[in-house]
Amino acid sequence: MLLTKVKNKSIIKSPLNYIGGKAKILDQILPLFPKEIDNFIDLFAGGCNVGINVNANKIYFNDNLTYLIEMYKTFQENNLDTTITHIENRIKEFELSLTNEDGYKKMREQYNKQKNPLDLFVLIAFSFNHQIRFNNNHEFNNPFGRERSSFNASMKQNLEKFIIRLKETNIGFANVCFNNFDFTFLNNNDFVYCDPPYLITTGTYNDGKRGFKGWTNNEEKQLLKTLDNLDKQNIKFALSNVLEHKGKSNDILKHWVANNTNYKINEIDFHYSNSNYQTIVRDKDASIEVLITNYEPQKPQKEKTLFDEFSFSDL
């Protein structure tokens, strides 16, 4: 397929406060991606912060959380005004506010009976830390975000921009576990991005309490094997992860990289903006966040300063 060059777009922030979201480090991740992409696969879409900002001919959002994908599909299919009106009407109907926990619980009970995708977004807006959490019966069970969470002006603006981008971009959706995703249609012009649950960190996405499959050593090894298979087919990939976190080491990941010398470790400066690699390693509580690729990224050139332009030979 002939690749088309997509114009640079303004960065869109996800309306969801997804744990592990990459909004704050997009400026480091996106420049490391291939410059021309046909099909972009966001294998662990989550809040879609990465995929929604990628230039590609087609973008696929995949997540094993069924209700999340249904919500995105509804955003895409519905008229923007219809979506916003529904959200605002629900807020009025249940008198949702920073303090009305009873109204929140009543709406949560109704959602768990009817599973309206837009109602899920309303619940997320007023839930603790805006998190998405289900029990083993697939009932949304995140507690109320008293005095902290609401559908405020900033969230509304992020949602509107997000939906507009969803509608104007060629986007498809999938709702399967990563090891069941069909990669057979991909070729060497395509790109797979993975931002899985981090094995050595703890969050609602990998603690086994979200009503969906958790993340263990087995899933970690299966994913790495999947990436090896993509590499054998000359399909480019990038994997976000951490090598170390608060004294813990992801030895499975380290051994995998060590055994594949063509894979590149690109360090991401997230928690330690003024620290070099040696400083991070010495800190037992440090997190070493990386983007692992099976290609050599074309890293952007450092911007020239006044001193770079100045010639000392002229003195």
Q: Could you tell me which residue, 292 or 280, shows the higher pLDDT?
A: 292
Could you tell me what percent of the chain has a pLDDT over 70?
83
pLDDT band at 202 (very low <50, low <70, confident <90, very high): low
Q: What is the mean pLDDT of the chain?
A: 87
Residue 239, pLDDT above cutoff 70? yes
Give, for 133, the enclosing helix (H) or strand (E): none
Q: Could you tell me which residue, 301 or 314, shows the higher pLDDT?
A: 301
9-67 per-position pLDDT tens digit: 789 999 997 777 788 899 999 999 999 999 999 999 999 999 999 999 999 999 999 99
Q: Could you tell me which residue, 10 or 239, shows the higher pLDDT?
A: 239
pLDDT at residue 287, as a whole number: 83
Q: How far apart are CA 93 and CA 118, in angstroms?
A: 14
pLDDT at residue 243, as a whole number: 95
Backbone angles phi, psi at 213, to 5 degrees: -60, 135
Residue 188, pLDDT above cutoff 80? yes
78-115 per-position pLDDT tens digit: 999 999 999 999 999 999 999 999 999 999 999 999 99
253-278 per-position pLDDT tens digit: 999 999 999 999 999 986 533 333 33
pLDDT at residue 176, as a whole number: 96
Q: How many residues does the chain have?
A: 315
pLDDT at residue 294, as a whole number: 98
Backbone angles phi, psi at 214, to 5 degrees: -80, -170
Are 3 and 57 contacting, i.e. CB atoms less than 8 angstroms apart? yes
Nearest residue to 133 (alpha-carbon basis) of 207, 42, 194: 207
The pLDDT of 117-124, averaged and rounded, is 98
Of 35-44, 65-74, 202-211, 216-225, which gets the smallest average pLDDT? Answer: 202-211
125: exposed, middle or buried (Cβ count in 10 Å: 0-12, 13-18, 19+): buried
Q: How far apart are CA 160 and CA 154, in angstroms?
A: 10
Query: The tokens of 267 are what?
Result: 């360090």
Are 205 and 196 contacting, i.e. CB atoms less than 8 angstroms apart? no
- Kindly give, in sequence order, each residue whose CB lies less than 8 Å from that of residue 195, ignoring residues fewer than 6 positions away: 20, 22, 42, 43, 44, 46, 50, 240
pLDDT at residue 273, as a whole number: 38
CB atoms within 10 A of CB 4: 10
Q: How far apart are CA 105 and CA 129, in angstroms?
A: 16
Give the dihedral sign, CA 296/30/185/64: positive
**All domains of the chain in start order, with CATH:** 23-64+176-293 (3.40.50.150), 70-158 (1.10.1020.10)
- For tokens 């087919």, what's the residue? 233
Are 98 and 146 contacting, i.e. CB atoms less than 8 angstroms apart? yes
Query: The tokens of 83 are what?
Result: 């979506």
Instruction: Write the DSSP assignment of 225-284 as a string of letters.
Output: HHHHHHHHTT-EEEEEEEEEETTEE-HHHHHHHHT-TT-EEEEE-SS-TT--HHHHHH-T
Phi-psi group of 277: left, alpha or beta (phi > 0 → left; psi -120 to 50 → alpha; rest → beta): alpha
pLDDT band at 203 (very low <50, low <70, confident <90, very high): low
Nearest residue to 43 (alpha-carbon basis) of 182, 136, 137: 182
139-183 per-position pLDDT tens digit: 999 999 999 999 999 999 999 999 999 999 999 999 999 999 999
pLDDT at residue 201, as a whole number: 86
Tell me, what DSSP letter sits at residue 144? B
- Say what the pTM is: 0.87
pLDDT at residue 29, as a whole number: 96
Nearest residue to 194 (alpha-carbon basis) of 156, 252, 157, 238: 238
pLDDT at residue 281, as a whole number: 47
